[in-house]
Amino acid sequence: MQYWLLIFLVGFAIPAFAEGGLSVSDWEAHGFTETQREDLRSVIQKGIDEKFVPGGAFLVVHKGEVIFREAFGVADIETGRKITPEDVFFIASITKPFTSTTMAILADQGLVSLADRVDKYLSEFKDVRVRDSEKTERTPTIRECLSHTAGFPGNRDLQSGAFTLELDGSLKEAVADLATKELWAVPGTAHAYGRFGYMTSARIAEVVTKKDYETVIQEILLGPIGATHSTFYPSQEVFDGMVKPYVRSEGGFKLREGSPLGQTINPGGGLFSTLDDVGRLLLLHRNGGKVDGKQIVSAEMLRELYVAQPHTPGNGYGMGFNTLQKEDGRGYRLQHIGGSGTLVWMDLKADVLFVMLTQVPTPQMVKYRRQVTRKVSEIFLPAN
């Protein structure tokens, strides 16, 4: 429990969240050498040279201060335009920590409880059944929705065509359609990673606030933390100017087909954002829910997101975060990966935050991601 008391109760430097780019503090003043910084740059550049990614943007925050904020490679292969730290990326499943944090804020405000069953707010779920069962089962909780243990089918079932859902209308319409389907598992008994629990949670946010989800997340999370370049609905100008998505092919890259813009908002994977905006979300967690000295969500409520839930795989999954390392039942080393080639990683015990944004599908750059995160760990995590 000691490090939680240190981080959340004793107090610490809280960096400014004012609009504009995050300011960068001196690397060596934080006790790291120029050789270590060059080693990190070399690992990042090596992956670009070896054509794992055309480029990316990277952020390291140490003890509440940004000490590394750099971009490498190109945003557009055809024009040769260089990536900058200010560029917009499609962050895919890094959206999940944003949505789980939004739900934590609503819970802190008393508008919901994470233990509530979804039919408390969405009556269309009251008769939900589990497939191959004649028995009417209880509906999942918000906590189960945010930990992928609600019993909904996962992304693989949707992608394979084993499960279908109407995704051409509003979030209200999509979740209403979801409520007519059978659950694929009893809530709380199995893990299936996907978007449906996040869609259901976001629909509850709409119901309790009487606002659409884009407005909800802008007003209670993105606006307060200064994430002014994040949205589910970028303008055409922003969309055209963002870092281009590529897939690896023989000898290089080709533009990724299709568009992440869909008709139905995807609260589990549809945000467009920037390096700084993602960093601001992690800083909110690092600072125990404070922004510019103002408490916008309690540290206690945020810590609920770090508790590995039953029946989640590996080292566990909380709500919007993989729990890589735990102490006293809560994760202190947390991570989430986005399918577009994005990553957030934070170690609250070592007081290090890391953001990595690229635009190549994660399965094609696993080796590169591991090389970079290994170097970050080597530099910033104390040896065991």
Tens of pLDDT, residue by residue, the chain (384 residues): 333 333 333 333 434 444 457 889 999 999 999 999 999 999 999 999 999 999 999 999 999 999 999 999 999 999 999 999 999 999 999 999 999 999 999 999 999 999 999 999 999 999 899 988 766 678 999 999 999 999 999 999 988 999 999 899 999 999 999 999 999 999 999 999 999 999 999 999 999 999 999 999 999 999 999 999 999 999 999 999 999 999 999 879 999 987 766 689 999 999 999 999 999 999 999 999 999 999 999 999 999 999 999 999 999 999 999 999 999 889 999 999 999 999 999 999 999 999 999 999 999 999 999 999 999 999 999 775
Instruction: Tell me how far apart the alpha carbons of residues 182 and 287 are, in angstroms, rounded to a whole number.
Output: 41
Whether pTM > 0.95 for this model: the answer is no
- Cα first-last separation, the chain: 19
Instruction: Tell me how far apart the alpha carbons of residues 121 and 271 are, in angstroms, rounded to a whole number.
Output: 25
Identify the helix (H) or strand (E) that includes residue 323.
strand 322-327
Residue 19, Cβ density class (10 Å: 0-12 exposed, 13-18 middle, ≥19 buried):
exposed
DSSP 228-262: TT-BSS--HHHHHHSPPPEEEETTEEEEPPS-S--
In the CATH scheme, what is the code of domain 2-93+220-380?
3.40.710.10
Q: Are 226 and 17 in contact (CB under 8 A)?
A: yes
What are the residues whose beta carbons fall under 8 Å from the beta carbon of 85, sequence distance 6 or more? 21, 57, 59, 69, 70, 71, 274, 275, 276
Q: How many CB atoms lie within 10 A of CB 32?
A: 18
Ranges for all domains in the chain classified under CATH 3.40.710.10: 2-93+220-380
* Selection from 261, 316, 297 nearest residue 149 by Cα: 316
